[in-house]
Amino acid sequence: MECTVTLEADVLAAYPAEVRIPAELVASTLAASNAEIPRVLVVLDDDPTGTQSVADLPVLTRWDVEDFIWAFGQSKPAVYVLTNTRSLDPAEAAARNEEVVRNALAAAGSASDLRLGFVSRSDSTLRGHYPLEPDVIAATVADVSGEKTDGVVLVPAFPDAGRVTIGGVHYMRGTGEAAGTLTPVSETEFAKDATFGFTTSVMADYVAEKSRGRFAADSVIVLDLNIIRAGAAVQNPADSAKISADAIADAIGAATDSTPIVADIVTENDLRALSLGLEEAERRGKKLLYRVGPPFGRARIGQEIRTELTGAEAYAGNTPSEAGGLIVVGSHVGVTTRQLKALTEQHSAARIVEIDVEKLLGAREEADAHLDQTVDTVVEALRAGDVIVHTSRLLIKTDDPAESLRIARTVSAAVVAVVNRTLKTFPPRFVIAKGGITSSDVAAHGLEIRHAIVRGPMLPGIVSLWEPVDGPAKGIPYIVFAGNVGDDQSLADVTRKLSSTF
């Protein structure tokens, strides 16, 4: 049973200590598995913030066969595809998932020495189209290749950002004075999301709720920390890792017909132990899909945690523009509003421009005039320094999920128009986009990025820098900043690294 707030130390006391596993051990294990036919994980990212935990991997905002051929040609263990399906209705999300998977398989089919795995990357606070997206991926793979999915592994944990799963319950860690505490995620603002709300933090019950009873809670396989850390008592790292991997693979053995599998995760070592266990299960013949939070991909490919990039590294290989930088804030969650407040208070040299949402939702003539005025103001201000563009903080709510999406799209379209028209008139020194849907639309449409390389995080594990490799934004550092991560100072910290006037 869930409780409102508990101490993390008390919850963890019932479980073994973590098994310490170097990333190199995961990487070498995968190298052995992929020696004959390399495998690439295709990560369908429902907003762009899934890249915040990885480095030096290709990112696509388009998914034609030719785009996948480019991405696979980078010879990396994973490719991120920015589907942005969290901003779509269910039918549109399903169609997009199917198209991405079919095109990826077609591109891989042209290379006889390549096999694919699929990852449905979604929100660490449980928002998104579940179980629709893994269902569509599994059905499409089966239709194209005849391969049926045995299990769908749910790993929403994101320890870097304070989301952990213990005893099959998904929690949010407290910060500040509440540090050391855990709150069930169903008791946070994220569970009240107008489109993707939910009522429970018990993952097996969440599966039952979201699948509308198709999967009963007692049919869900739960890989708790006793299984993930099964090798904890053994001193030799390789031996302890193997014991944990075998325990995980054994527990998954009964999975069939897309059985949901939930994994406890508290640390990066837990993610690495899980990765070895999943690899062993697949070696034994299990066909798995993954529905995960951001850091899973990093652990699954055996990548080290990349240290945060410096300002100099952000501009490496490119000459920074003399223009100011553009910071675009669309998210309305509490932490974003606090971050925006801190940035505007500290960055006195920046010009602040507000996009009035009520005007956007009004008459067409009024909306168009407001956009024209906003673009003119932003372009002029960039000549003198940084510009902070944010949507008005009054969140217009509705009980209709479809109407909520329509409002979100209208606002996002306006943000995109401001960025794109600014880019074509007076390119900024850098662009930071705050919020999942905001950063996706700014990337794909505002900056017209088609192919990019994620270089690494601007803050430890939570904010990623993309380097656009083509299009009008080539050479401009683009910062993807999720709405629900970081502390109150994080947005100011990232801006300070990139700015010439802060």
Domains of the chain with CATH codes = 6-300 (3.40.50.10840), 311-498 (3.40.980.20)
Over residues 109-153, the pLDDT tens digits come to 876 679 999 999 999 999 999 999 999 999 999 999 999 999 999
The β-bridge relationship of strands 351-355 and 387-391 is parallel
Question: What integer pLDDT is reported at residue 1 of this predicted model?
Answer: 44
Question: What integer pLDDT is reported at residue 246 of this predicted model?
Answer: 98
Judged against a pLDDT cut of 90, whether residue 333 lies above it is answered with no
Do 388 and 329 contact (CB within 8 A), yes or no? yes
Hey, which residues does 84 pair with through a beta bridge?
Answer: none
> Cα–Cα distance between 355 and 492 in angstroms, integer?
20
**φ and ψ at residue 379, rounded to 5 degrees:** -60, -45
Q: Report the 3 state secondary structure along 306-337.
A: CCCCCHHHHCCCCCCCCCCCEEEECCCCHHHH
Over residues 52-84, the pLDDT tens digits come to 899 999 999 999 999 999 999 999 999 999 998
Residues near 156 by Cβ (< 8 Å), separated by ≥ 6?
122, 123, 124, 125, 126, 163, 165, 170, 203, 291, 292, 293
Owner of token pair 């199917």: 98
Hey, which residues does 479 pair with through a beta bridge?
Answer: 432, 465
Over residues 163-209, the pLDDT tens digits come to 999 999 999 999 889 999 999 999 999 999 989 999 999 999 999 99
Judged against a pLDDT cut of 60, whether residue 293 lies above it is answered with yes
Question: What integer pLDDT is reported at residue 397 of this predicted model?
Answer: 64
Do 335 and 492 contact (CB within 8 A), yes or no? no
pLDDT band at 408 (very low <50, low <70, confident <90, very high): confident
Could you tell me the two tokens for 13? 């006391």
> Cα–Cα distance between 291 and 283 in angstroms, integer?
20
> Cα–Cα distance between 164 and 268 in angstroms, integer?
11
Judged against a pLDDT cut of 90, whether residue 391 lies above it is answered with no
Judged against a pLDDT cut of 90, whether residue 409 lies above it is answered with no
- Which amino acid does the sequence have at 431? V
Residue 225 buriedness (CB in 10 A; 0-12 / 13-18 / 19+): buried
Do 431 and 475 contact (CB within 8 A), yes or no? no
> Cα–Cα distance between 27 and 301 in angstroms, integer?
6
> Cα–Cα distance between 452 and 467 in angstroms, integer?
5
**C-alpha count within 13 angstroms, C-beta hemisphere, residue 107:** 21
Question: What integer pLDDT is reported at residue 118 of this predicted model?
Answer: 98
Query: Reduced to 3 states, what is the DSSP secondary structure of residue 165?
Result: strand
Over residues 337-354, the pLDDT tens digits come to 899 999 999 999 999 999
pLDDT band at 374 (very low <50, low <70, confident <90, very high): very high
**φ and ψ at residue 403, rounded to 5 degrees:** -70, -35
Over residues 245-272, the pLDDT tens digits come to 999 999 999 999 999 999 999 999 999 9
Torsion of CA 479, 484, 488, 493, to 10 degrees: -10
> Cα–Cα distance between 145 and 102 in angstroms, integer?
10
Looking at residue 235, what DSSP letter applies? S
Could you tell me the two tokens for 250? 């054994």
**φ and ψ at residue 154, rounded to 5 degrees:** -100, 120
Residue 212 buriedness (CB in 10 A; 0-12 / 13-18 / 19+): exposed
Average of per-residue pLDDT across 490-495: 97
Query: Reduced to 3 states, what is the DSSP secondary structure of residue 46?
Result: coil
Do 130 and 291 contact (CB within 8 A), yes or no? yes
Q: How many CB atoms are located within 10 Å of the residue 460 CB?
A: 13
- Would you say the C-alpha torsion 401, 333, 118, 413 has a positive or negative sign? positive
Could you tell me the two tokens for 153? 């592994």
Among 250, 404, 378, smallest CA distance to 326 is for 378
Phi/psi-derived region of residue 417, left when phi > 0, alpha when psi is between -120 and 50, beta in every other case: alpha
Do 308 and 170 contact (CB within 8 A), yes or no? no
CA distances from 270 to 25, 113, 203, 277, 421 (A): 13, 31, 17, 10, 45
Residue 263 buriedness (CB in 10 A; 0-12 / 13-18 / 19+): buried
Over residues 24-43, the pLDDT tens digits come to 999 999 999 988 889 999 99
